[in-house]
């Protein structure tokens, strides 16, 4: 068990016990959107100051839509190091299994001893929405009333939670999905949060009415970009969880700012095929914004296109094990 804390934020010194947190365990922790967002911003601020490190993704490509991915990060101040291992393997005809499966493994920074294994899918859901919300603090309209979600899977639920928490001004939500049933599930959840849900008939309706847009379109054979940035209001924020693959590349010029999570890792948005769009470049990143960059005042269209940065997973995993130890959640495994 932990023997003591370095300070309020830090992960305490570790024993040889190995903590395992399942998906259900992580849900039991009830990590709030505010907690997740603040952990992510702190991790990006620390990265800007050189207090943590996150390495670029290492990818084993099986085919154009199947990968094994590893993301490594470490923080001396938080006394932890992490690697997230993710498999993205579509299996035809399998509806009950997620095409994305991951684990996060944590080690003590000082001793190298493994200290925890966490369900990577749950951590990724929380951290991805937290990253979108963190970027919105610096790039979105200050009091948006409308939000549009493109793709209504699990990420849509986590983004709904994150943005309702960040922007109490939200009143209306537009939904676009290949599955009407999925859109209806998000609509029900949105209604419970006092938002007026509208299932859009097409992308133009959603884009033209939404001050915030989150695109969450998975890569698939034959995907053609269908989102036109020129349809957005003059003051709007788009978070491309899909890296940008669902946006028509020739319309990226309609954005006044193009921002990613880490310029050291990503230079351009993704195209539908998964390759970088060479015609445009990201001009800023969340590392810089979180370091103290002032909030822009003029109305603008901003795109936050990202593929994930290991320090965000490190932050959420560290937060999870701190809460798990405090609440007695999870299983202790012998080594």
Q: Are 125 and 191 in contact (CB under 8 A)?
A: no
Residue 6 included in any domain:
no
Same domain, 32 and 64: yes
User: pLDDT value at position 179?
Assistant: 92
Residue 8 included in any domain:
no
Q: What is the mean pLDDT of the chain?
A: 92
Same domain, 46 and 115: yes
Residue 3 included in any domain:
no
Q: Is the dihedral of CA 16, 21, 25, 29 positive or negative?
A: positive
**What confidence tens digit (pLDDT) does each residue in 292-334 have?**
865 655 679 999 999 999 999 999 999 999 999 999 999 999 8
Same domain, 104 and 210: no
The CATH number of the domain holding residue 81 is 3.30.1780.10
Q: Are 18 and 29 in contact (CB under 8 A)?
A: no
Same domain, 118 and 140: no
Half-sphere exposure of 313 (CA within 13 A, CB side): 33
Q: Are 77 and 46 in contact (CB under 8 A)?
A: yes
Same domain, 58 and 174: no
Same domain, 162 and 279: yes
Q: Are 239 and 132 in contact (CB under 8 A)?
A: yes
Same domain, 64 and 172: no
Does residue 58 register a pLDDT over 70?
A: yes
User: pLDDT value at position 10?
Assistant: 46
Question: Mean per-residue pLDDT for 176-184?
Answer: 95
User: pLDDT value at position 63?
Assistant: 85
**What confidence tens digit (pLDDT) does each residue in 192-218 have?**
999 999 999 999 999 999 999 999 998
Does residue 219 register a pLDDT over 90?
A: no
Residue 277 included in any domain:
yes
Residue 10 included in any domain:
no
Domain range for residue 291? Answer: 130-308
Angle at 322 between CA 320 and CA 324, to 5 degrees: 65
Q: How confident is the model at residue 96 (pLDDT cuts 50, 70, 90)?
A: low
Q: How confident is the model at residue 46 (pLDDT cuts 50, 70, 90)?
A: very high
The two beta strands, 80-88 and 66-75, are: antiparallel
Same domain, 234 and 274: yes
Same domain, 113 and 241: no
Same domain, 207 and 63: no
Residue 102 included in any domain:
yes
Q: Are 150 and 214 in contact (CB under 8 A)?
A: yes
User: pLDDT value at position 297?
Assistant: 59
User: pLDDT value at position 99?
Assistant: 83
Return the closest-CA partner of residue 9 out of 64, 74, 79, 58: 79
Does residue 242 register a pLDDT over 70?
A: yes
Residue 145 included in any domain:
yes
Same domain, 208 and 291: yes
Q: How confident is the model at residue 109 (pLDDT cuts 50, 70, 90)?
A: very high
Does residue 83 register a pLDDT over 50?
A: yes
This prediction has a pTM of 0.91
**What confidence tens digit (pLDDT) does each residue in 252-305 have?**
999 999 999 999 999 999 998 888 998 999 999 999 999 986 565 567 999 999
The CATH number of the domain holding residue 283 is 3.40.50.720
Residue 32's alpha-carbon distances to 9, 28, 119, 204, in angstroms, are 16, 11, 18, 33
Does residue 235 register a pLDDT over 90?
A: yes
**What confidence tens digit (pLDDT) does each residue in 115-138 have?**
999 999 999 999 999 999 999 999
Count of Cβ atoms closer than 10 Å to residue 85 Cβ: 16
Number of structural domains the chain divides into: 2
Does residue 91 register a pLDDT over 60?
A: yes
User: pLDDT value at position 59?
Assistant: 92
**What confidence tens digit (pLDDT) does each residue in 1-37 have?**
223 333 444 444 445 689 999 999 999 999 999 999 9
Residue 72 included in any domain:
yes
Same domain, 118 and 134: no
């Amino acid at each position: 068990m932990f023997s003591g804390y370095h300070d309020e934020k830090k992960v305490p010194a570790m024993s040889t016990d190995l903590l395992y947190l399942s998906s259900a365990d992580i849900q039991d922790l009830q990590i709030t959107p505010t907690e997740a967002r603040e952990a992510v911003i702190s991790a990006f601020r620390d990265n800007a100051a050189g207090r943590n490190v996150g390495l670029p993704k290492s990818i084993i490509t099986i085919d154009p839509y199947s990968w094994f991915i590893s993301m490594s990060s470490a923080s001396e101040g938080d006394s932890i190091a992490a690697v997230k291992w993710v498999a993205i393997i579509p299996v035809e005809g399998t509806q009950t299994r997620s095409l994305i499966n991951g684990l996060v493994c944590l080690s003590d920074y000082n001793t190298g001893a493994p200290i925890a294994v966490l369900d990577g899918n749950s951590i990724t859901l929380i951290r991805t929405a937290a990253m979108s919300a963190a970027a919105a603090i610096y790039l979105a309209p200050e009091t948006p009333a409308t939000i549009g979600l493109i793709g209504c899977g699990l990420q849509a639920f986590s983004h709904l939670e994150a943005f309702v928490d960040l922007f109490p001004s939200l009143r209306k939500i537009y939904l676009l999905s290949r599955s009407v049933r999925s859109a209806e599930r998000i609509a029900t959840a949105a209604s419970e949060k006092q938002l007026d849900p509208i299932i859009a008939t097409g992308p133009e309706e959603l884009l033209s009415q939404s001050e915030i847009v989150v695109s969450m379109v998975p890569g698939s054979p034959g995907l053609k970009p269908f989102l036109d940035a020129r349809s957005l209001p003059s003051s709007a924020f788009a978070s491309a969880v899909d890296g940008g693959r669902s946006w028509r590349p020739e319309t990226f010029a309609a954005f006044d700012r193009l921002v990613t999570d880490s310029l050291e890792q990503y230079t351009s948005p993704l195209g539908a095929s998964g390759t970088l769009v060479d015609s445009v470049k990201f001009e800023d990143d969340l590392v810089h914004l979180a370091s103290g960059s002032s909030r822009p005042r003029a109305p603008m269209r901003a795109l936050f296109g990202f593929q994930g940065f290991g320090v965000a997973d490190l932050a959420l995993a560290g937060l999870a094990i701190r809460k798990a130890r405090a609440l007695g959640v999870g299983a202790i495994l012998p080594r």
